[in-house]
């Protein structure tokens, strides 16, 4: 069974610090990887996608992928209290419509 694992947290970081969120996945043939942010009471929203090994930067967010280690991470620089949310890691296999979500990591940015 395909699995995606995340530390549930809460992960607490002070405002302005770097938040590091980690995710591991079990299906070695996974092709695409996504990070979603979910505020309490809201639906998830896509913040980053990554498909190739290495880093991908978008503003304050950097996604990192290491397929050999089956590991994907999200770094949030200059964390803000508005970044406080649950971050979901999602992995899609080579079949296209085969998304598997991790349980999410709750991030709390302290002012």
Residues found near another protein in the complex (CB under 8 A): 31-32, 34, 36, 41-46, 49, 51, 88, 90, 92-97, 99, 101-104
Give the shortest CB-43-to-another protein separation in angstroms: 4
Give the shortest CB-59-to-another protein separation in angstroms: 16
Which class for 42: exposed (0-12), middle (13-18), buried (19 or more C-beta within 10 A)?
A: exposed
Give the shortest CB-79-to-another protein separation in angstroms: 22
| Cβ atoms of 109 and 84 closer than 8 Å | yes
Give the shortest CB-28-to-another protein separation in angstroms: 15
Q: CB nearer to another protein: give 31 or 70.
A: 31
| Cβ atoms of 9 and 21 closer than 8 Å | no
Q: CB nearer to another protein: give 8 or 14.
A: 8
Q: CB nearer to another protein: give 17 or 61.
A: 61
Q: CB nearer to another protein: give 69 or 97.
A: 97
If DSSP states are collapsed to H, E and C, what string results for 25-76? ECCCCCCEEEEEEECCCCCCEEEEEECCCEEEEECCEEEEEECCCCEEEEEE
């Amino acid at each position: 069974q395909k699995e995606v694992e995340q530390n549930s947290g809460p992960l607490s970081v002070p405002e302005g610090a770097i938040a590091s969120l980690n995710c591991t996945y079990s299906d070695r043939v996974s092709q695409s990887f996504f990070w979603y942010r979910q505020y309490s009471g809201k639906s998830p929203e896509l913040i980053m996608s990554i498909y190739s090994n290495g880093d991908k930067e978008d503003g304050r967010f950097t996604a990192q992928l290491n397929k050999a280690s089956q590991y994907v991470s999200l770094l949030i620089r200059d964390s803000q209290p508005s970044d406080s949310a649950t971050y979901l890691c999602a992995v899609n296999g080579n079949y296209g419509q085969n998304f598997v979500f991790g349980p999410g990591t709750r991030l709390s940015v302290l002012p």
